[in-house]
């Protein structure tokens, strides 16, 4: 019996018993739906991590020298944390030796952050994150202004009390007015706002625009760090090779300054967006596996349901099978008929599951901070899985149908 | 072939001598005019230790275009014989030649092919697919013969027209009367031009008037040259045939012309 005939027959069978078919397919539907949705979410998160998250927090070909890793994607043990706390901090006195070994074409900056309490004529004392910077901070961060200007090199050198503030901070502290030229008081010290930074966006729903940035030489530094200490030295290289080269040079300088013996590990951290991503890639692999294994359970259940429904169908249609055999259907004709029926049933369920999965991913992307991108391979996988589940589930019932004795089958009610 | 002519001999019917002759040639392929030849056909079943001998050596010779009824009380083996003739079953011993082909030892798949090409079944309970139209029911043997869709539809429509159901092709069985259903079954049985039309109690589920209609159809088919074999336990139905074979205890008890049989049972 030609394939298309069998498929048409199977579809007619589904149409005749819509409700029963629906329940039969529930397992496959749900399994495939979750496959699509979870894979999309994992994929979306991956893209987000690689492009937005890490890209926003760390630039390309950029590395940071810190006491401990900045972006930690995962659980850190107590022991590790304590070891980190015992490490010496990066100091301003480290800047010159580090910078002196950097090859031509690189840029560097320092930054130190903490929460401070600030107030303006329009807003009472309120906590906000403040960062004291030096060097090419704004260039490395690719941060421009939507209003006003960035600090001049003189202001940076002299430590003039000026601030560049984020868009959200501007709205909070200077509602309905332009902050440029106005004053903000931090710990009694007045600062002049000279610029509002371009919007940085958000990560997982958390705004990146609630900040104040001022020169390291200004009084701001004393509020964010103890004397002589910086949080990080950031270096940006023109190419990956220069970055790798620079990282090694800086490591050697720091090891020298800390008088570390060859057998001792670094007591500082140099990380790039890659090391931050490395952890993500580790868990991404696990998440992709989970996203396949978990729906697999739904599919196994779906397969068992389909098998049982097909067994019942074969039993109910024993007479029909007898009739077909008496008219000349061979074993393989009957086998094919029921296999195609099971596979068609299952594929229809998978198709519905794919549609639901796409809808679910889009709902998740719209209503939650989680991003989700539907991946074409998951749709193909869902379809194949659907057909495959049907065929596997149908083998046993179909072979039973094929082996029926026509005489006995014809006698059935 | 014998030249002896029996009194009232029907020229279309084979003679006893002819039959005996062809059955006697054990192992030889019968001539083309013989549709069915069985030699010593036996069928035994193992029923939990006991051996049931349903057929104990049936010799049959049926020539093309004969209209035969096979009768017998229950336990006579007529159902078993019908299953064997219809290639739904294989004998335990003996030869069964169908249209010059030795089918008694064929495999399941080969038998399916034979059923498709050579045998047209008509059942007591019609055995139509309930959810398919009359047309699709009649198309079914052609589907399994691998005939393409357009030709299938044409031939099936023709077959339905032959049984005066050309206006009911899209009806489902539950929209048809008993007589109409049986006619659909007959159309289905004929659509592949089989060697024999094999009917099992074809009027068993029909009232007497409809039964007569169906008998008329068989009569017409026989006149047109179709070999018809009818298994029945009703003497007045059997009397419509031109030759009546009676089975008893797994062997042929008598083999008469239709009129002789009718006289015997007082019809």
- Residues A230, A124, single domain; the answer is yes
pLDDT class of A54 with cuts at 50, 70, 90: low
Q: What is the pLDDT of residues A320-341, one digit of tens each?
A: 999 999 999 999 999 998 998 8
Minimum distance, in Å, between the CA of residue B220 and any CA atom of chain A: 23
- Residues A136, A74, single domain; the answer is yes
In this prediction, residue B241 carries a pLDDT of 92
Long-range contacts of A197-202 (CB under 8 A, 24+ apart): A197/A143, A197/A144, A197/A145, A197/A146, A197/A164, A197/A165, A197/A166, A197/A167, A198/A143, A198/A144, A198/A145, A198/A146, A198/A167, A199/A146, A199/A167, A200/A56, A200/A143, A200/A166, A200/A167, A201/A52, A201/A56
Q: Is residue A394 part of a domain?
A: yes
Q: For the ranges A47-51, A396-400, B13-17, which has the lowest average pLDDT? A: A47-51
Question: What is the CATH architecture assignment of B64-90+107-265?
Answer: 3-Layer(aba) Sandwich (3.40)
In this prediction, residue B2 carries a pLDDT of 40
Q: Is residue A213 part of a domain?
A: yes
CA angle A127, A132, A134 (to 5 degrees): 165
The interface pTM score, or ipTM, of the predicted complex is: 0.91
Overall number of domains in chain A:
2
Q: Out of A210, A237, A272, pick the residue that ends a domain.
A: A272
Range of the domain at A145: 62-272
pLDDT at A127 exceeding the cut of 70: yes
Smallest CA–CA distance from A325 into chain B, residue: B112
- Residues A110, A176, single domain; the answer is yes
The whole-number average pLDDT for the span A271-299 is 78
Nearest CA to B58 out of B226, B211, B265, B247 is that of B247
Note whether B115 contacts A410, CB cutoff 8 Å. no
The whole-number average pLDDT for the span A22-30 is 84
- pTM of whole model > 0.80? no
Q: What is the pLDDT of residues A286-318, one digit of tens each?
A: 887 877 788 888 888 888 988 998 899 899 999
- Residues A323, A245, single domain; the answer is no
Residues of B in contact with A335 (CB under 8 A): none
Q: Is residue A57 part of a domain?
A: no
Q: For the ranges A161-175, A262-276, A367-381, B221-235, which has the lowest average pLDDT? A: A367-381
In this prediction, residue B4 carries a pLDDT of 42
Note whether B143 contacts A320, CB cutoff 8 Å. no
Q: What percent of chain A has pLDDT over 90?
A: 46
The 10 Å Cβ neighbour count of residue B51 is 9
- Residues A283, A349, single domain; the answer is yes
Q: For the ranges A43-52, A218-227, B204-213, which has the lowest average pLDDT? A: A43-52
- When CB atoms are compared, the residue of A2, A12, A328 closest to B115 is A328
Sequential pLDDT tens for chain B (267 residues): 444 444 444 557 888 888 888 888 888 888 888 999 999 999 998 888 899 999 999 999 999 999 999 999 888 999 999 999 999 999 999 999 999 899 988 999 999 999 999 999 999 999 999 988 999 999 999 999 999 999 999 999 999 998 999 998 999 999 999 999 999 999 999 999 999 999 999 999 999 999 999 999 999 999 989 999 999 998 989 999 999 999 999 999 999 888 888 888 887
- When CB atoms are compared, the residue of B123, B128, B141 closest to A328 is B141
For residue A181, give the DSSP letter: T
Q: Out of A247, A272, A297, pick the residue that ends a domain.
A: A272
In this prediction, residue A154 carries a pLDDT of 93
Q: Out of A238, A272, A306, pick the residue that ends a domain.
A: A272
One DSSP character per residue, B75-119 reads TSSHHHHHHHHTTSS--SEEEEEETTEE-TT--HHHHHHHHHHHE
- Residues A25, A154, single domain; the answer is no
- When CB atoms are compared, the residue of B112, B117, B188 closest to A329 is B112
- Residues A30, A173, single domain; the answer is no
With contact defined as beta carbons under 8 Å apart, do A159 and A133 qualify?
Answer: no
Residues of A in contact with B174 (CB under 8 A): none
Minimum distance, in Å, between the CA of residue A10 and any CA atom of chain B: 13
Q: For the ranges A58-67, A390-399, B106-115, which has the lowest average pLDDT? A: A58-67
What is the domain partition of chain B in residue ranges? 64-90+107-265
* Phi, psi dihedrals of residue A271, rounded to the nearest 5°: -130, 150
Instruction: State both tokens at B70.
Output: 């096979």
Smallest CA–CA distance from A333 into chain B, residue: B144
The 10 Å Cβ neighbour count of residue B224 is 10
Minimum distance, in Å, between the CA of residue A407 and any CA atom of chain B: 7
Q: What is the pLDDT of residues A90-121, one digit of tens each?
A: 999 999 999 999 998 899 999 999 999 999 99
pLDDT at A369 exceeding the cut of 80: no
With contact defined as beta carbons under 8 Å apart, do A232 and A83 qualify?
Answer: no
Cβ neighbours for A215, distance < 8 A, ≥ 6 positions apart? A132, A133, A134, A151, A155, A156, A157, A158, A159, A160, A162
Nearest CA to B115 out of B144, B154, B92, B72 is that of B144
In this prediction, residue B3 carries a pLDDT of 42
Q: Is residue A86 part of a domain?
A: yes
């Amino acid at each position: 019996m030609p394939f298309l005939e069998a498929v048409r027959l199977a579809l007619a069978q589904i149409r005749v018993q819509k409700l029963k078919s629906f329940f039969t397919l529930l397992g496959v539907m749900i399994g495939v739906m979750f496959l699509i949705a979870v894979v999309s979410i994992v994929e979306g998160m991956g893209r987000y991590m690689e492009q937005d998250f890490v890209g926003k927090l760390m630039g390309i070909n950029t590395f940071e020298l810190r006491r401990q890793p900045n972006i930690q994607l995962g659980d850190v043990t107590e022991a590790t944390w304590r070891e980190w706390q015992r490490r010496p901090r990066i100091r301003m006195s480290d800047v010159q030796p580090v910078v002196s070994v950097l090859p031509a074409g690189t840029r560097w900056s320092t930054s130190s952050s903490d929460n401070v309490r600030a107030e303006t004529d329009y807003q009472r004392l309120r906590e906000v994150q403040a960062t004291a910077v030096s060097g090419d901070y704004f260039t490395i961060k690719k941060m421009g202004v939507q209003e006003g200007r960035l600090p001049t090199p003189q202001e940076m050198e002299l430590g003039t009390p000026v601030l560049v503030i984020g868009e959200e901070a501007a709205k909070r502290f200077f509602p309905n007015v332009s902050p440029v030229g106005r004053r903000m008081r931090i710990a009694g010290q007045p600062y002049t706002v000279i610029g509002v930074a371009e919007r940085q966006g958000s990560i997982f729903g958390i705004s990146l625009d609630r900040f104040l940035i001022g020169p390291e030489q200004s009084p701001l530094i004393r509020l964010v760090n103890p004397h002589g200490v910086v949080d990080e030295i950031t270096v940006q290289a023109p190419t990956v090779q220069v970055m790798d080269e620079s990282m090694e040079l800086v490591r050697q300088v720091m090891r020298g300054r800390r008088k570390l013996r060859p057998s001792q590990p670094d007591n500082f951290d140099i990380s790039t967006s890659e090391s931050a991503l490395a952890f993500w890639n580790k868990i991404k692999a696990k998440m992709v596996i989970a996203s396949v294994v978990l729906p697999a359970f739904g599919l196994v259940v779906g397969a068992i349901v389909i098998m049982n429904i097909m067994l019942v169908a074969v039993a109910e249609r024993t007479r029909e099978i007898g009739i077909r055999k008496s008219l000349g259907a061979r074993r393989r004709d009957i086998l094919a008929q029921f296999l195609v029926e099971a596979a068609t049933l299952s594929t229809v369920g998978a198709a519905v599951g794919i549609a639901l999965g796409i809808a679910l991913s889009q709902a998740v992307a719209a209503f939650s901070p989680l991003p989700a991108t539907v991946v074409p391979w998951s749709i193909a996988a869902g379809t194949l899985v659907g057909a495959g589940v049907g065929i596997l589930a149908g083998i046993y019932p179909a072979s039973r149908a094929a082996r029926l004795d026509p005489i006995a089958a014809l006698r059935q009610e | 072939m014998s030249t002896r002519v029996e009194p009232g001999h029907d020229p279309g019917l084979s003679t006893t001598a002819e039959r005996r002759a062809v059955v006697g040639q054990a192992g030889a392929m019968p001539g083309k005019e013989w549709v069915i030849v069985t030699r010593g056909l036996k069928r035994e079943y193992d029923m939990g230790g006991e051996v049931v001998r349903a057929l104990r050596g049936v010799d049959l010779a049926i020539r093309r275009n004969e209209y035969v009824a096979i009768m017998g009380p229950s336990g006579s083996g007529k159902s078993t014989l019908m299953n064997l003739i219809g290639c739904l079953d294989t004998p335990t011993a003996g030869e069964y030649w169908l249209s010059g082909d030795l089918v008694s030892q064929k495999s399941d798949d080969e038998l399916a092919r034979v059923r498709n090409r050579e045998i047209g079944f008509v059942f007591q309970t019609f055995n139509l697919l309930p959810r398919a139209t009359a047309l699709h029911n009649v198309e079914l043997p052609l589907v399994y013969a691998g005939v393409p869709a357009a030709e299938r539809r044409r031939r099936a429509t023709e077959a339905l027209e032959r049984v005066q159901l050309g206006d009911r092709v899209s009806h489902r069985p539950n929209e048809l009367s008993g007589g109409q259903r049986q006619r659909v079954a007959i159309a289905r049985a004929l659509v592949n031009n089989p060697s024999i039309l094999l009917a099992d109690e074809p009027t068993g589920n029909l009232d007497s008037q409809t039964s007569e209609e169906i008998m008329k159809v068989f009569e017409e088919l026989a006149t047109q040259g179709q070999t018809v074999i009818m298994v029945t336990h009703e003497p007045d139905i059997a009397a419509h045939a031109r030759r009546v074979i009676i089975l008893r205890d797994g062997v042929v008890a008598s083999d008469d012309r239709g009129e002789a049989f009718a006289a015997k049972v007082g019809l």
